Chains A and B, each alone.
Chain A
Amino acid sequence: MTDMINEIRALCAIDGVSGREDKVREYIINRLNGKAESITTDNLGNVIAFVKGKKPADKKVMISAHMDEVGFIVTHINGDGTIKIAPVGGVDEQVVFGRRIRINDKIAVIGGKAVHNISSDERKKTVKFENMTADIGAASKEEAEKVVSLGDVGTFCCDFISLGKDKICSKAIDDRAGCAIMLRMIDEGVEYDTYFAFVVQEEIGLRGSTCTAFTIAPDVSIVLETTTAADIPPSQGDERVCELGKGAVVSFMDRHTIYDRQLYDLAFETAKENGIPCQTKTKVAGGNDAGAIHISRSGVKTCAVSVPCRYLHSASCVADVSDIENTYRLTKKLLDRIYTI
């Protein structure tokens, strides 16, 4: 595994549900030690690293990735010691029941009525959040309250594993992959002065990036993300959206943003010139911090460069190592050229 993949592994192991990104932030600030001209943490918890380039720039450029991950929040503790949870961010109920989550470093299992004790109709239905409980093993409300309080958050609890020769599988690859790519770019230095923003609360509505975009007031912005790949059977043609192993993803439009055409073209041109695999999305779906950034102040030219990723927002996001490498390469080359537009 390369250093960058090892860094993604380390970052994915950290729990940082939206609004509670503290430990991810701590890791990033420690990593940035001495590598940026300035590092500031704002009122929301966004980390802004200003990195001096070899040359001053006549444009302000911001690259961002989000530190937060989807997860769960404790809303109630039942009399029998089980815990009611609600999703933080877009968590599909289908990937929650029958799983382990981690609340305050304690394992809880998500269960409900046993399959033997429900009707045949119920057996065919996804279990809704209101019908599942987190079980930490406490036998009573009092026992549970010793280790869990209302408002505590939980994350998927899983190992970081390899799939096949070149794929990784973990929670939180969305968007620790983006964070790791930015850290590598900072390690290696940049041509022109650049603002790197590690933002909070993307998963609950692009909130951190709204503020960093205002504070930095960039002319141009690149969002480093992961995006849904549906290259799985039985998806065909455009339903596959984008595919693992086919390189970085640059999209023309999603549910929050119509991307700047000049940047979109520049990304593909840069990819072609440098022989970097690059693809676009064949569905208008999803969204990311670009949605907040491109309409900040008087508007910001924005593009998103993403790692294609299967099963986003689950405990088992799957990404291809070559795509992460190519997303890094394309972003680095694109950053050098972005100052020329």
Chain B
Amino acid sequence: MSLDTYELLSALVDTSGVSGAEYSAAEYAKEILSKYGETRIDILGNVICKVGRFDESKPTLLIDAHIDEIGMIVTYITDDGFLKVSNIGGIDNRVLTGQTVKIYGRKIVDGVIASTPPHLKKDSSAAADISDIYIDTGMTGDEAKEIISLGDRVCIFNCLERLEGGLVTSHALDNRAGCATVILAADMLRNEDTKYNVCVLLSVQEEVGERGAKTGAFTVDCDKAIVVDVSFGLTHGEDAADCGVCGSGGMIGIAPSLCREMSDELINTAKDKGIPYQIEVMNGKTGTNADAIGISKGGAKTVTLSVPLKHMHTPVEVVDMRDIENTARLICEYIK
């Protein structure tokens, strides 16, 4: 009955969801969430699920995770079948050259980000700039235009694969890892009688400025919110003071913009139930949907829970599945 984390995450990263075109990811999530309660997709494309029974006398708690991912958008097609693109969200220019991409046209086709051979390069120490790159479709201009239109999305796709330990890698783990966490929590809560009316929001367009969370939170009208996203997992060369550690549990946010009472409650719940956790201190806003949700309508008590993730905004993001499971458990225990 309970969901398998790997299978769930694998299916989530296989769907496409570059910001503003989250349709396939949203449809898949809706299908799963429908098992837990009334689920719909709103005007911007957010997936909203009312988990279980709702009771007017209870406060409403929102669990949010953004479902979109960074990527590219086609802005021009050359006569010889190459695409020019613009970035959607904070693309890491350093990873672009020579990557294989998926182009979401009338059908999904592959392409390669062209790389200028060394003998024609003025300076190979400079990373590619998104505005200068061309995507090789292997097609003529006419063939390309049959399948691909301006405005189509492009992403550097890697399916989910296991690394050593409990770690997995793919593209878009920011934030399908958060989506998986929220779905697992909803699954655990399905038969629980809780203190809250629980509402799940898988929000669109976070990577372009928390837009889906803004409208979604307005619709849901919550009293409290838990925002599940990813944060920096310690990798070689980074400062341990600035990062969580993969495998050491979800990161409970403490920040001036967050509700300290909720942070403390989460910490106490984790301690009581023996769930591993880490603390993530931020000194203002959080750079997550919590920034928008916290000031939705008349304001909501909001906290962040982050899954530590290595190599953020690259196609080789890495998370520990135990962190996803433990974060889901923490949410579940907190709500019960």
Partners in one complex: yes
Q: Do A230 and B117 have beta carbons less than 8 Å apart? A: yes
Contact with A along B137-167 (1 / 0, CB 8 A): 1111001000000000000101001111101
Q: List residues of chain B with CB under 8 Å of any chain A CB.
A: 78, 80-82, 90, 92-95, 97-100, 110-112, 114-120, 124-129, 134, 136-140, 143, 156, 158, 161-165, 167, 169, 232, 234-239, 242, 246-247, 310-316, 318
State which of B124, B139, B236, B311 has its C-beta within 8 Å of the C-beta of A93: B124
A275 within 8 A of B: no
What separation, in Å, do the CA atoms of A71 and B127 have in the docked complex? 21
What separation, in Å, do the CA atoms of A95 and B121 have in the docked complex? 14
Residue among A106, A139, A165, A228 having the largest count of chain B Cβ atoms under 10 Å:
A139
Q: Do A314 and B165 have beta carbons less than 8 Å apart? A: no
What separation, in Å, do the CA atoms of A133 and B313 have in the docked complex? 16
A66 within 8 A of B: no
Q: Do A113 and B247 have beta carbons less than 8 Å apart? A: no
Q: Do A143 and B164 have beta carbons less than 8 Å apart? A: yes
CB distance from A164 to the nearest CB of B (A): 3
Q: Do B163 and A107 have beta carbons less than 8 Å apart? A: yes
Q: Do B164 and A125 have beta carbons less than 8 Å apart? A: no
A116 within 8 A of B: yes
**Chain A residue at minimum C-beta to C-beta distance from B140:** A164
Interfacial chain B residues near A158, Cβ < 8 Å? 100
CB distance from A314 to the nearest CB of B (A): 4
Q: A114-B311, A163-B111, A312-B117 are in contact. List 15 more A-B contacts (CB 8 A).
A: A92-B118, A95-B115, A97-B95, A113-B235, A113-B238, A114-B232, A136-B163, A161-B110, A162-B138, A164-B81, A164-B139, A169-B112, A233-B78, A315-B99, A316-B98
What separation, in Å, do the CA atoms of A159 and B99 have in the docked complex? 12
What separation, in Å, do the CA atoms of A314 and B99 have in the docked complex? 9
List which A85-144 residues lie within 8 A (CB) of chain B. 90, 92-95, 97-100, 106-117, 123-127, 131, 133, 135-139, 143-144
State which of A80, A126, A137 has its C-beta within 8 Å of the C-beta of B126: A126
A235 within 8 A of B: yes
Interfacial chain A residues near B235, Cβ < 8 Å? 82, 111-114, 133, 135
What separation, in Å, do the CA atoms of A123 and B316 have in the docked complex? 17
State which of B119, B134, B137 has its C-beta within 8 Å of the C-beta of A283: B119
Q: Do A138 and B98 have beta carbons less than 8 Å apart? A: no
8 A-B pairs within 8 Å (CB atoms) are namely A98-B99, A98-B316, A106-B163, A107-B162, A109-B311, A111-B311, A127-B94, A169-B110
**Chain B residue at minimum C-beta to C-beta distance from A283:** B119
Q: Do A165 and B310 have beta carbons less than 8 Å apart? A: no
Q: Do A117 and B242 have beta carbons less than 8 Å apart? A: yes
Given the interface pairs A92-B118, A115-B92, the reply to whether A135 lies near B99 with Cβ below 8 Å is no
What separation, in Å, do the CA atoms of A98 and B318 have in the docked complex? 11
Q: Do A126 and B127 have beta carbons less than 8 Å apart? A: yes
Interfacial chain B residues near A311, Cβ < 8 Å? 98, 112, 114-115
Interfacial chain B residues near A180, Cβ < 8 Å? none
Interfacial chain B residues near A82, Cβ < 8 Å? 235-236
Q: Do A232 and B82 have beta carbons less than 8 Å apart? A: yes
Residue among A144, A162, A283, A311 having the largest count of chain B Cβ atoms under 10 Å:
A311
What separation, in Å, do the CA atoms of A126 and B139 have in the docked complex? 29
Given the interface pairs A111-B235, A139-B247, the reply to whether A167 lies near B138 with Cβ below 8 Å is yes
Q: Do B93 and A98 have beta carbons less than 8 Å apart? A: no
What separation, in Å, do the CA atoms of A245 and B157 have in the docked complex? 27
Given the interface pairs A123-B94, A230-B116, the reply to whether A115 lies near B313 with Cβ below 8 Å is yes
Interfacial chain A residues near B310, Cβ < 8 Å? 111, 114, 135
Q: Which 4 A-B pairs have CB atoms at the shortest separation, nearest pair first?
A: A163-B138, A98-B95, A137-B163, A164-B138
Q: Do B94 and A126 have beta carbons less than 8 Å apart? A: yes
What separation, in Å, do the CA atoms of A90 and B126 have in the docked complex? 18
Q: Do A126 and B124 have beta carbons less than 8 Å apart? A: yes
CB distance from B199 to the nearest CB of A (A): 30
**Chain B residue at minimum C-beta to C-beta distance from A234:** B134
What separation, in Å, do the CA atoms of A143 and B163 have in the docked complex? 12
Interfacial chain B residues near A235, Cβ < 8 Å? 116, 120
Interfacial chain B residues near A110, Cβ < 8 Å? 316
List which A232-291 residues lie within 8 A (CB) of chain B. 232-235, 239, 241, 283, 285-286
